[in-house]
Amino acid sequence: MQNTFIARNPSVLWFLAALGLFTAIVTLMSEATGVGLISTSFVKTLGKTLCLCLIAIAMDVVWGYCGILSLGHFAFFGIGGYAIGMWLMYARTEAIVVPNLMAQTIPPTPQEISDAIGNQIFGVVGSSEFPMIWGFADSLFLQLLMVVLVPGLLALVFGWLAFRSRVTGVYLSILTQAMTLALALYLFQNDSGLRGNNGLSGLQNIPGFEDTPQATISIVFFLASAFALAAGYVFFAWIVSGKMGSVVKGIRDNEARVRFLGYHVESYKLFIFTITAIVAGIAGALYYPQAGIINPGEIAPIASIYLAVWVAIGGRGRLYGAVIGAAFVSLLSSWFTGGGAPPINLGFYTIQWTDWWLVLLGVSFVAVTLFFPKGIGGLFDYLVRKQP
Amino acid sequence: MRYLVLALAVWLGTFVSAQAQTVQDILQVHADEIAKPSRRSVSVALDDLVASGLPQVPVFLEQWSARNVWQRDDGQFFIGDADGDDLALTDIDTGAASFALKSEFTQIRPNGGVRRVIGTALVQFQLSDPDLGRRETAVASIARRPEAAQLAPLLASIEGEPDAALKARKVQLANFLSARFADDPADRIAAINSLSSDTSVEARSVLNQILTTEPGVSASEPEGNIARVLDPMIDPDGFYAQLVEAELAPSRTPPDVIRAALEANVVEGRVGDVPVAQLGTDQMREAAYAQLADAGLVASLVTVSDRDAAIAAHVFFETYDEADPTITAAAEAALASVEQRVAFAQAADLALDGLSLASIYFLAAIGLAITFGVMGVINMAHGEFIMMGAYTGYVVQLFIPDYTLSIIVALPLAFAITFGAGVSMERLVIRHLYHRPLETLLATFGISIALQQLAKNIFGTQARPLTSPGWLDGAWVISDVIQISYIRIAIFILALLFLALILYVLKRTRLGLEVRAVTQNPGMAASMGINPDRINMLTFGLGSGIAGIAGVAIGLYAKVTSEMGTDYIVQSFMTVVVGGVGNVWGTLLGASMIGFLQKGIEWLNPSNTLAAQTYMILFIILFIQFRPKGIIALKGRAAAD
Amino acid sequence: MSTLLEVSGVTVTFDGFRAINNLSVQFAEAELRAIIGPNGAGKTTFMDIVTGKTKPDEGSVIWGDKNTSLLGMSESQIAREGIGRKFQKPTVFEDQTVRQNLAMALKNPRGPFAVLMHKKTPENAARIEEIATEIGLSDQLTRTAGELSHGQKQWLEIGMLLAQDPKLLLVDEPAAGMTVEEREKTTDILRRAAETRAVVVVEHDMEFVRRLGCKVTVLHEGSVLAEGSLDHVTSNKTVVDVYLGRAHA
């Protein structure tokens, strides 16, 4: 079985090898080992990029393989981030507040502890009471469960409603975009219970590891992200390569045919939509502790569209394409917008890339859609096939 | 009529008793109050002056208020006009002019409070002033600060009022005053009843003032004109605080006080016999505190059951300030009736708001609906075409300072520019993607981010103004509740025009015929000699051009920024999706539904427009469940795939 | 011979246009039947109704020994009940191999989790070989379906229907765009299939229908105009007027 799986997916071995090599190099060069050729902040950037690659392969499965152009997967990513962020913020605040209270003459009551933590967390939105949704915030295990359950349930309910009424194509894209917008708008409210547009912050401080240097923490998260990406890659490769993949690709290419073959198309779409939403949530839960802050702006519809852009540039319908696209575009983006790219002097006008990067991205995206619909991955395929 | 007789009696009475006096006489009687007036003392003097009915009184009051009254060392008052060391004097009663040295006189300087009191007294005279402007000022001043004393003079001035509008206003105001201050309860009730159909803010405030209440608490059955008896259990702590304030109960011991008391009484690691380490729960703390209280160290603890017992032993109520129950009952009835009318008016106002929002969505979405309907292409850059239109308007205003003219130039220019942009986009990009609709969505999204950033690079990130012509400023006020700004009316008319225009183009022109043919069956249309390429290009241009015009319209009342397109794009999509594809009426219905819905939800939850939008989107997602193809769906074979 | 499918009194209206008008027709368990009729006679709509794509306004569609109603079932449920449908245009999954196409259609559990855990079995492989031989594509199994010729795609689609092992096969214009030899082969495949199950062929081409040599039902304006052997219906005056007459005029 294992043999046939690898045989059907030669890219899996290559991918795992490349990822392993990359991870090893980064780890050895990082500040955590004392070499320090790669700064801690760049390790974080790379770790975040791995998480983006993970959500990109999820997007590729739902769009490239199943044909559902979801403009909502970044919402699931954000939900995963919020879920883990709630625990991080709660536990961290608790670790700061409780010793103070304990130092006083009289031991604090549970109510006093809760009020003090609530005051710290919700002071910015003028409240000190814990909303209902923070009910599990004190338990890492339960919040980790939320990372999986909340995106999964939301995707299940939304998908069930949408697929059941046979909303497809562009309509479905718009509907998923609307869902994302609704979620972002909801989170922007101060009484959403998630600190409104302040979002959750200080997530880079891991409770219980206050004394561990960020250099080490960043490498741990980097490795965890790499592991999650590897696991996600193998998992999705398994899903799309077998008979499941056959049916799913069939749905993408001709939904009616699959239906008349007796497959309940909606169940399959729902399965793919939900499973990818869960992986997106996990990617988010790994991303935001490295980013340190999450706010509703991250969930705005535009983020999900960028996700589609990455996958399209990388090449749909091939998992490594999604990884290449996400890594390439997001790293390039931070290089250009971070001022890394040298300005171009035209004599009468100087092109500052912080201003012009989005124009370049937009135009090249149109070009890729028009001229290279298979993306970078397609080019890659072409080169690999040419060799023998 | 009854008021008139009453007023006449008052008027005559003052006239008769005033015969023998001069103003100076009265002033001398109250010389101290006049010379050093205070808000409290001055009213006695004023009452006498007004009661005298002398014709010189208003002049004197005006001059007094204007700090032009001077007192001679012998106590006589004059109206004076200082000029260097000299003073031009006018006798208060006779008006005789003379000159004197300023040093012999003291200027009387009433402070602001006193001048307001004088002003109120003056109003009565100004009500009958020959100058219309003064009469209006007087009426306005009464309306601002209604007082009982003004009722009679106001009534008296109605009969002789020559200006019809002002007369009506006076009658209305007299009615308001009667409702609050008339002596005869029957008069008040009559006036109150007449207010039951008046939805103006003023009338409502009159009724509300009659109905002002005071909270009260008593151990027995309450007395007075009781408005309502309250149930203290809705907010036990709040009502207990009221008891404490009325000194009917000991104050509660809040947790921090308990905590402080415990901290202050720690003896050898214990409070009473409770070890400090066990004080981590409320029960243990209260137990320890009770021990302290028993030992007399602290005030005794008021527990929750003490609080509830105390609350239960008292009656909490609200009494009307107005003692007469028949009047408050009449006012309550009138207010209820007014509020019902106000609710209707608000519903009408809400409908107008919804209509104007619907027009905006219609304008923003119709272009999208046309391109989507005819070509099956979702144009994500549609919002950026709206933005281009708005910036066109802004640039035109830089060159043409006359706002009316600039708008007239900007509308067709915006259409032309976005039409051109749409056509080139269709030729360069969309044409190549007709069989891949999802990729059109993405490619146009690429164009959208490029255009947005381009606009940011050219115009900067700050909002640019697009000023509407002066004649569009202001609002059409139907009543205090219903009003709508002229810009929104203009946008509504623009939307109607475009509806008519698009219907005309689609139903009555050759182009429209060809467009409909391509929409329904592109293959067949092509075989009939229609060039679908040309139709697609023109349709896309048309849709984009309308977006440009919508941009000018939206720019007139919203900010013009490079990101304004994104504010409308999702709503536009919603409108198209809800309305159903390929049908102008569908878009109209979709826009109306979303516009009205959004206003409706905002009205239910006015503090939170974000929540309103969230709920609206959720509603739309549910709506799609029941009408997956929109309100107006194509049926039959065309809709099958 | 017992009745497999009974359509009675079915009416469908699209925007006031009656596509199907009080249509009643029956099919036996193992028969070959051709349905002919001019454009707009309601042939495709009839197939849409039987396969669950379109819901009729009135009437009933009764299926099988247990007399279950097909109305209210979803397309996939009806397919699992044993009705296979071939579209007018060949619709195979062009990105996938012939073997994958057939494997997807094989009669196996259709739930997502069963499919996810699906393992290849020798029985399935044998069945795929068998069907491939039947449709003459046994040497094409590893090719991508998109590379096949038009006729081969049509056969592959018929093969996919056979792999479903349906009790009733609805075939829409199988011979369109085929060469003469391909038509002959198609006729053979359909005739053999009809030995063990009902096969209903919608066709325009009279020659093809004649070659099938089966009972013919003529549809016109949404209802049955005539039924019987081809010779019988072609001698019917009304049929000649509305259909053949126009066609040959």
B636, C53: Cβ pair inside 8 Å? no
Gap from A276 CA to chain C (nearest CA, Å): 15
Confidence of residue C247 (pLDDT cuts 50, 70, 90): very low
Model pLDDT, residue B6: 52
Assess C92–A contact: CB distance below 8 Å, yes or no.
Answer: yes
B636, C14: Cβ pair inside 8 Å? yes
Please give the order of strands across the beta sheet that includes C83-86. C83-86, C168-172, C198-202, C32-36, C215-220, C223-228
Gap from A88 CA to chain C (nearest CA, Å): 35
Q: How many CB pairs under 8 A join B and C?
A: 9
Domain boundaries, chain B: 2-126, 215-320, 343-640
Gap from C139 CA to chain B (nearest CA, Å): 33
Assess C104–A contact: CB distance below 8 Å, yes or no.
Answer: yes
Assess C181–B contact: CB distance below 8 Å, yes or no.
Answer: no
For residues A58 and A228, is the Cβ–Cβ distance under 8 A? no
Confidence of residue A4 (pLDDT cuts 50, 70, 90): low
List chain C residues with CB under 8 Å of B635.
Answer: 14-15
Indicate if the alpha-carbon torsion angle B202, B203, B204, B207 is positive or negative. positive
Interface of C with B in 22-81 (CB under 8 A): 48, 53
For residues B493 and B474, is the Cβ–Cβ distance under 8 A? no
Distances (CA, A) of C249 to A158, B27, C210, C236, C242: 57, 122, 20, 16, 11
CATH for B343-640? 1.10.3470
Nearest C-alpha neighbor of B200 from the set B477, B605, B475:
B477
Gap from B639 CA to chain C (nearest CA, Å): 10
B621, A361: Cβ pair inside 8 Å? no
Q: Is residue A276 packed enough to be buried (19+ CB in 10 Å), middle (13-18) or exposed (0-12)?
A: buried
B438, A167: Cβ pair inside 8 Å? no
Give chain C's domain count.
1
Neighbours of C231 (CB within 10 A): 9
Gap from C19 CA to chain B (nearest CA, Å): 9
List chain B residues with CB under 8 Å of C53.
Answer: 640
Model confidence over B365-402: pLDDT tens digits? 888 888 887 777 888 899 999 999 999 999 999 998 88
Residues 6+ apart with CB under 8 A from B124: B50, B149, B150, B153, B154
A107, B573: Cβ pair inside 8 Å? no
Token couple for B421:
């942009």
Assess C145–A contact: CB distance below 8 Å, yes or no.
Answer: no
Tell whether the model's pLDDT for residue B249 goes beyond 90: no
Residue of C nearest to A236 (CA): C116
Which residue would you say has higher pLDDT here, B542 or B245? B542
C-alpha atoms less than 13 angstroms from C-alpha of A21 in its C-beta half-sphere: 6
Gap from C5 CA to chain A (nearest CA, Å): 17
Tell whether the model's pLDDT for residue B637 goes beyond 80: no
C104, A246: Cβ pair inside 8 Å? yes
List chain A residues with CB under 8 Å of C91.
Answer: 254, 256-257
Mean pLDDT of A24-47: 88
Spacing of C-alpha B340 from chain mean position: 19
List chain B residues with CB under 8 Å of C17.
Answer: 636
Model pLDDT, residue A233: 95
Interface test with C, best of B524, B583, B634, B637 (most C CBs within 10 A): B637
Interface of B with C in 609-638 (CB under 8 A): 635-637
Residue of B nearest to C19 (CA): B636
Of all residues in chain C, what percent carry a pLDDT higher than 70?
Answer: 97
Tell whether the model's pLDDT for residue B141 goes beyond 60: yes
Mean pLDDT of B88-108: 82
Pairing state of beta strands C168-172 and B274-275? unpaired
Confidence of residue B7 (pLDDT cuts 50, 70, 90): low
Model pLDDT, residue A46: 94
Gap from A73 CA to chain C (nearest CA, Å): 22
Model confidence over A200-249: pLDDT tens digits? 988 988 888 888 888 899 999 999 999 999 999 999 999 998 889 999 99
Highest mean pLDDT of the ranges B267-281, B386-400, C84-98, C234-248:
B386-400
Assess B454–A contact: CB distance below 8 Å, yes or no.
Answer: yes
Mean pLDDT of A28-35: 85
Model pLDDT, residue A1: 43
Q: What angle do CA A211, A213, A219 make, to 5 degrees?
A: 130
Token couple for B329:
């009952």
List chain B residues with CB under 8 Å of A111.
Answer: 255, 282
Distance CA C9, CA C23 (A): 5
Tell whether the model's pLDDT for residue C43 goes beyond 80: yes
Nearest C-alpha neighbor of A73 from the set A277, A214, A268, A254:
A277
Token couple for B574:
């919603």
Q: Is residue B441 packed enough to be buried (19+ CB in 10 Å), middle (13-18) or exposed (0-12)?
A: buried
For residues B294 and A141, is the Cβ–Cβ distance under 8 A? no
Interface test with A, best of B445, B626, B634 (most A CBs within 10 A): B445
Interface of C with A in 38-57 (CB under 8 A): 51, 53
List chain B residues with CB under 8 Å of A161.
Answer: 621-622, 625
Tell whether the model's pLDDT for residue A3 goes beyond 70: no
Touching partners of A (3+ C-beta pairs < 8 Å) = B, C
Residues 6+ apart with CB under 8 A from B594: B358, B361, B571, B574, B575, B578, B616, B620
Average pLDDT over all residues of chain A: 88
A60-81 burial, b if ≥16 CB within 10 A, otherwise e? Answer: bbbbbbbbbbbbbbbbbbbbbb
CATH number at residue C148: 3.40.50.300
Please give the order of strands across the beta sheet that includes B213-218. B213-218, B315-320, B226-230
Residue of A nearest to B266 (CA): A105
B429, A366: Cβ pair inside 8 Å? yes
Gap from B431 CA to chain C (nearest CA, Å): 25
Which residue would you say has higher pLDDT here, A14 or B306? A14
Report the residue from A244, A249, A262 with minimal CB separation from C76: A262
Which residue is listed with tokens 């427009």?
B609
Tell whether the model's pLDDT for residue B44 goes beyond 90: no
Whether the pTM exceeds 0.90: the reply is: no
Model pLDDT, residue B3: 56
Domain boundaries, chain A: 2-302
Touching partners of B (3+ C-beta pairs < 8 Å) = A, C
Model pLDDT, residue C1: 55
For residues B452 and B561, is the Cβ–Cβ distance under 8 A? no
Tell whether the model's pLDDT for residue B42 goes beyond 90: no
Model confidence over A271-284: pLDDT tens digits? 999 999 999 999 99
Interface test with B, best of C12, C15, C53, C88 (most B CBs within 10 A): C15
Assess C80–A contact: CB distance below 8 Å, yes or no.
Answer: yes
Model pLDDT, residue A191: 78
The amino acid sitting at B451 is: L
Token couple for A32:
């955590």
For residues C73 and A264, is the Cβ–Cβ distance under 8 A? no
Interface of B with A in 138-197 (CB under 8 A): none
Assess A164–B contact: CB distance below 8 Å, yes or no.
Answer: yes
Which residue is listed with tokens 């103070």?
A100
Assess C14–B contact: CB distance below 8 Å, yes or no.
Answer: yes
Gap from B540 CA to chain C (nearest CA, Å): 29
Nearest C-alpha neighbor of C4 from the set C50, C58, C57, C73:
C50
List chain A residues with CB under 8 Å of B432.
Answer: 370
Model pLDDT, residue C246: 52
A365, B620: Cβ pair inside 8 Å? no
Assess C15–B contact: CB distance below 8 Å, yes or no.
Answer: yes
In angstroms and rounded to an integer, the radius of gyration of the C-alpha atoms of chain C is: 18
Distance CA A42, CA A57 (A): 22
Alpha helices in A292-318 (DSSP H): 301-314
Distance CA A60, CA A70 (A): 10
Q: Residue C106's domain spans which residues?
A: 3-248
